[in-house]
């Protein structure tokens, strides 16, 4: 039982980081209906920006804030230079543009920072494990969980209480009605990309502190996709719950099924779960069910 509880709790800690990245998926889809295939690369760029600021001598909280500011600006610039030109174009064309952005950002990271694994030096979080009730957790997971939850609370507050957060929700619900009330749809789309860049960057930074940072962190975008599908592509609470669920699923499948298969289940299990969810709940647990009448 102690092992099971330990697996669930550590899955929740990692899942909270997945939830941050899933939030970026959801924001862009919720506001524009576009599935952003460059989400993993946004994670990668944000993580390397944090690493760069940290190695320049910034304290880690300051480096994280600097990354958030830079990510916000990069999100606005990306939307303005690339995505805004695609407004009114077929959704498939916009999705292919995001696929092109993913290759561009991945190549940019390899050119600027290289492809070798790098770590935050000196380590940001203590390496000594934390023990309680017979369970052992790396302290880095605990602090990453706290940081991820804090960011999620800030984002949820922004969407529920701030003027621009409410404008984003209004645009997602009914774009024409929002426009009639004076909401700028173009600014809402740009803000969605900026916040997605920030959320993905925090998730990548936390993961980089856990496992080291290299080009493979970019695959996190696809790994988080099952979490987004589970919660519903346009549901912010669903993205959070989906991220936590995928973190738990990975741990349990690796511990109990991985023994029978020789490993590799941890990476496959979320996608198997996603296929099952799509068969029975095509819109996810909290996604909007669209009804079309002819």
The 3-class secondary structure across 170-194, one letter per residue, is HHHHCHHHHHHCCCCHHHHHHHHHH
CB-based burial label for 78 (10 Å; 0-12, 13-18, 19+): buried
Q: Is the pLDDT of residue 251 over 80?
A: yes
Is 183 inside any structural domain? yes
Is 179 inside any structural domain? yes
Find the domain containing 157 and state its range.
2-280
Mean pLDDT of all residues in 128-142: 76
Q: Please give the pLDDT value at position 294.
A: 46
- Residues 6 or more apart whose Cβ sits within 8 Å of residue 141: 10, 13, 14, 210
The listed range with the strongest mean pLDDT (48-52, 229-233, 260-264, 272-276) is 48-52
Is 174 inside any structural domain? yes
Alpha carbon distances (Å) from 142 to 14, 17, 31, 121, 137: 9, 11, 32, 19, 8
Residue showing tokens 């690493």: 51
CB-based burial label for 206 (10 Å; 0-12, 13-18, 19+): buried
CATH of the domain at 259: 1.10.3470
Q: Please give the pLDDT value at position 143.
A: 80
Determine if the peptide bond prior to 66 is cis (ω within 30°): no
Q: Please give the pLDDT value at position 28.
A: 80
Cα separation, 203 vs 211, whole angstroms: 12
Is 290 inside any structural domain? no
CB-based burial label for 162 (10 Å; 0-12, 13-18, 19+): exposed
Q: Is the pLDDT of residue 149 over 50?
A: yes
Is 187 inside any structural domain? yes
List the structure tokens of 270. Answer: 């979320």
Q: Which pTM was predicted? A: 0.85
Mean pLDDT of all residues in 64-83: 91
Cα separation, 238 vs 19, whole angstroms: 9
The answer for 137, left when phi > 0, alpha when psi is -120 to 50, beta otherwise, is: beta
Is 287 inside any structural domain? no
**What does the mean pLDDT of the chain come to?**
81
| 138 bridge partner residues | 129
The beta strands (E) that lie in the chain are given as: 129-132, 135-138
pLDDT 10s digits, 184-238: 777 888 888 888 888 888 888 888 888 788 888 888 777 888 888 887 777 777 8
Cα separation, 167 vs 228, whole angstroms: 22
Q: What is the separation, in whole angstroms, between the first and last Cα of the chain? A: 54
Is 204 inside any structural domain? yes
Is 285 inside any structural domain? no
- Element housing 204 (H / E): helix 185-211
Are 18 and 222 in contact by the 8 Å Cβ rule? The answer is no
Identify the band that residue 292 occupies on the pLDDT scale cut at 50, 70 and 90.
very low
Pairing of β 135-138 and β 129-132: antiparallel
Our count of domains for the chain comes to 1
The listed range with the strongest mean pLDDT (8-12, 141-145, 163-167) is 8-12
Q: Please give the pLDDT value at position 178.
A: 66
């Amino acid at each position: 039982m102690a092992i099971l509880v330990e697996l669930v709790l550590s899955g929740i800690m990692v899942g909270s980081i997945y939830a941050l990245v899933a939030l970026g998926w959801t924001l862009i889809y919720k506001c524009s209906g576009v599935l952003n295939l460059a989400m993993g690369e946004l994670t990668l760029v944000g993580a390397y920006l944090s690493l760069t600021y940290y190695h320049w001598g910034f304290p880690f909280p300051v480096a994280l804030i600097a990354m958030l500011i830079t990510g916000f600006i990069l999100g606005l610039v990306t939307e303005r230079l690339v995505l805004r030109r695609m407004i009114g174009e077929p959704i498939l064309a916009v999705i292919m543009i995001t696929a092109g952005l993913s290759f561009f950002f991945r190549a940019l990271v390899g050119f600027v920072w290289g492809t070798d694994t790098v770590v935050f030096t000196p380590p940001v979080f203590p390496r000594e494990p934390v023990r309680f009730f017979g369970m052992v957790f790396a302290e880095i997971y605990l602090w990453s969980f706290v940081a991820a939850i804090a960011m999620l609370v800030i984002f949820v507050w922004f969407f529920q209480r701030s003027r621009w957060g409410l404008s984003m929700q209004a645009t997602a619900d009914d774009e024409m009605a929002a426009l009639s009330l004076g909401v700028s749809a173009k600014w809402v789309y740009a803000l969605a990309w900026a916040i997605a860049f920030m959320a993905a960057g925090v998730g990548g930074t936390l993961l980089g502190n856990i496992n080291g940072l290299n080009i493979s962190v970019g695959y996190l975008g696809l790994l988080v996709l099952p979490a987004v599908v589970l919660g519903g592509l346009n549901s912010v609470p669903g993205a959070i719950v989906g991220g936590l669920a995928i973190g738990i699923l990975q741990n349990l499948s690796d511990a109990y099924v991985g023994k029978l298969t020789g490993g590799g289940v941890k990476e496959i299990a979320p996608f198997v779960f996603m296929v099952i969810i799509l068969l029975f709940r095509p819109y996810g647990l909290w996604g909007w069910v669209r009804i079309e009448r002819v």
